[in-house]
Amino acid sequence: MNVGGPVDNPVSVSLAEIHRLPSHEQITQHVCVQGSSGVAKWKDISMATLLELVVPKPDAKWVVFYSLAEGSDGGIYYDAHPIEQMHHHLVMLAYDMNDAPLTYGHGVPPPLRNENQLGFKQVKWIGGIEFVDAFAEIGGGHGGYIEDHEFFGYRQSI
């Protein structure tokens, strides 16, 4: 996974390195915009820990998560999240679910879990993370693949 953009210490982090970082566990409910939900126990690296490693520059206001997967209309799936949400204890890159390693279907490499956002904002199969001051030049400029192709705002917080 590559972590870049305006950071003082750009890094490339392997899954093995992520597993060696401090982790925490939590039980949370996933809420889907289509009405389904589920509860799971997650083990993860918090985004706050990752921010300590990469030290985003002060002008970074957004964190863009890029998936290794394509969106349904083609092009790389991505989503932008406000950087201030990355310090919340419920925002993480998950690697275990219900005391077992995540499967490909659940998003390995580590998916984003931002429990301050609805399900469509959770990016699976993360291949890169970028810290930016604005997202107008990324994708269609609306802050995420779904926002570029459908009408949802980037302010769809729970």
Please state, in angstroms and rounded to a whole number, the distance separating the CA atoms of residues 154 and 140: 13
Exposed, middle or buried, 93 (CB in 10 Å: 0-12/13-18/19+)?
A: buried
Looking at per-residue pLDDT, the higher value among 14 and 95 belongs to: 95
72 with 147: CB under 8 angstroms?
no
Can you tell me the distance from the alpha carbon of 62 to that of 86, in angstroms, rounded to the nearest whole number? 9
Secondary structure element (H or E) that encloses residue 120, with its range = none
Please give the domain boundaries of the chain with CATH numbers for all domains.
2-149 (3.90.420.10)
Of residues 52 and 10, the one with the higher pLDDT is 52
Q: Omega into 109 within 30° of 0, i.e. cis?
A: yes
- Higher pLDDT: 152 or 93? It is 93
As a whole number, the mean pLDDT across the chain is: 84
pLDDT of residue 98: 95
Contact between residue 144 and residue 154 where contact means Cβ atoms under 8 Å apart? yes
Mean pLDDT of 65-87: 92
Q: Is residue 117 within 8 Å of residue 157, measured between CB atoms?
A: yes
What does the pLDDT read at residue 152?
Answer: 53
Which residue in this structure is represented by tokens 């970074």?
60
C-alpha dihedral (53, 134, 64, 116), degrees to nearest 10: 90
**Which structure tokens are listed for 24?**
């925490």
- The model's confidence at residue 151, banded by pLDDT at 50, 70 and 90, is low
Evaluate if residue 66 carries a pLDDT over 90. Answer: yes
pLDDT band with cut points at 50, 70 and 90 for residue 3: low
95-136 pLDDT, tens digit per residue, is 899 999 988 888 887 889 988 887 778 899 998 899 999 999
Instruction: Report strand pairing: 91-97 vs 37-46.
Output: antiparallel
